[in-house]
Each structure stands twice: as C-alpha cells, then as structure tokens.
C-alpha cells in the first residue's frame, strides 16, 4: 500500500476543484485496503461537498491505482464508489456476525473479547481419553490374552485346511 497523506489529500481536492486538471499517478496498489482504513475520512470529505470523482482524482494524484499488471491505471470515481460500497457491506456483515457471536453462550466473552483468541490449554491439563470402567473388558494378567495374535489365527486356519490336504491312506 502506498504511503497516504491525509493533509495532502485535502490540498489535492482543493486544487482539483479549482483547476479540474487531470493528474498523473505513480504506480501503486492496495486501493481496497486504503478505502477500508480511511472510509470514515472519505465519507466526511464527501459530506463536506467533495464529489467521489474529485476524491478519486486526488487519490490518483498520490499514486493510488486500480487493476493489476498491464491494466493498472489511476483509480476512478466509479471504482472508488464501488470500493466504498463494498467496504460498507463488509462492515454491515461483520456487525451482524458480531451480534450473533455476542449471543452465543458457549463463548467466554469476558476473558476473550472479539478478535482475541483464547489461551491454549496447557498439555498438563489434557488427560488421555479412556473407556468407562463398565465398558472395559476385565484383564487377567496371568490368564490367556483375550485376543489371539495374528500368528495364532494363521496357525488355526492352517490346521483347518491341513485336514483337507491329507493324503488318503488307501
């Protein structure tokens, strides 16, 4: 995002109103971020009588551009009003989402205001999951294993098949 000088913007607006000359801008980018950051100021300038075209021309004189790559050109009034409308819609959506979030009972808003992440749970506080004692199978360390090993299952299957493979004594 190019550097932004608010007092220069006001001076450029006055000069633009007086002479209505086309200003050449230097290459730059980040017009959406610039509008997000300074929307209130732009709206105040508009309420004070500056047109969106004049505000856009003053921004273009400071190097605020629109487009990408080869299509990069100074910002226009139409593009500026589109960005302003987009940021306004974004703010309305964010405010609605914040209101819904504020009503959620599962969030601890006192500890974690909007925008802050909760503290991670320390690993010492995390306990491994275990089955309930009534669901766990009884285990006798001296008795046979409740589940046969893979080798035991293979030997049992081989014994069943060997009966079929025995040669006839006759």
Given a contact cutoff of 8 angstroms between Cβ atoms, the answer to whether 74 and 60 are in contact is yes
Given a contact cutoff of 8 angstroms between Cβ atoms, the answer to whether 29 and 1 are in contact is yes
Query: Is residue 6's pLDDT more than 50?
Result: yes
Query: Is residue 116's pLDDT more than 90?
Result: no
Query: Is residue 111's pLDDT more than 60?
Result: no
What per-residue string of b and e applies to 26-63 under the rule 16 or more CB within 10 Å gives b? eebbebeebbeebbeebeebbeeebebebbbbbbbbbb
pLDDT tens-digit map of 96-109: 999 998 888 887 66
Distance in angstroms (rounded) separating the CA atoms of residues 12 and 40:
18
- Provide the mean pLDDT of the chain: 80
Distance in angstroms (rounded) separating the CA atoms of residues 150 and 130:
25
- Other C-beta atoms closer than 10 Å to the C-beta of 17 total 14
- When pLDDT is cut at 50, 70 and 90, the band that residue 19 belongs to is low
Read off φ and ψ for residue 59, nearest 5 degrees.
Answer: -65, -40
Say what angle helices 31-47 and 6-19 make with each other, to 10 degrees: 60
Q: What is the pLDDT of residue 22?
A: 41
- When pLDDT is cut at 50, 70 and 90, the band that residue 138 belongs to is low
pLDDT tens-digit map of 59-97: 999 988 888 777 889 999 999 999 999 999 999 999 999
| Listed ranges 31-45, 66-80, 98-112, 127-141; the one with the highest mean pLDDT | 31-45
- 38 vs 141, more confident: 38
Whose CA is closest to 62, among 17, 26, 101?
Answer: 26
Q: What is the pLDDT of residue 129?
A: 78
Residue 121: strand pairing partners: none
pLDDT exceeding 70 applies to what percent of the chain? 72
Residue with tokens 């205001």: 113
The answer to pTM > 0.75 is no
User: What value does the mean pLDDT take over residues 130-148?
Assistant: 71
């Amino acid at each position: 995002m190019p550097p932004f000088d608010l007092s220069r913007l006001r001076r450029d607006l006055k000069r633009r109103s007086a002479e209505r000359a086309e200003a050449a801008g230097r290459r730059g980018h980040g017009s959406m971020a610039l509008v997000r950051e300074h929307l209130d100021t732009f709206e105040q300038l508009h309420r004070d009588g500056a047109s969106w075209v004049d505000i856009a021309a003053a921004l273009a004189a400071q190097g605020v551009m629109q487009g990408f790559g080869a299509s990069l050109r100074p910002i226009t009034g139409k593009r500026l009003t589109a960005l302003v409308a987009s940021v306004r819609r974004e703010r309305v959506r964010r405010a609605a989402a914040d209101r819904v979030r504020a009503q959620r009972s599962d969030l601890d808003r006192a500890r974690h205001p909007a925008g802050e992440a909760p503290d991670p749970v320390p690993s010492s506080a995390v306990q491994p999951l275990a089955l309930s004692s009534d669901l766990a199978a009884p285990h006798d360390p001296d008795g046979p294993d409740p589940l046969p090993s893979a080798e035991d299952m293979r030997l049992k299957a081989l014994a069943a098949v060997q009966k079929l493979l025995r040669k006839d004594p006759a």
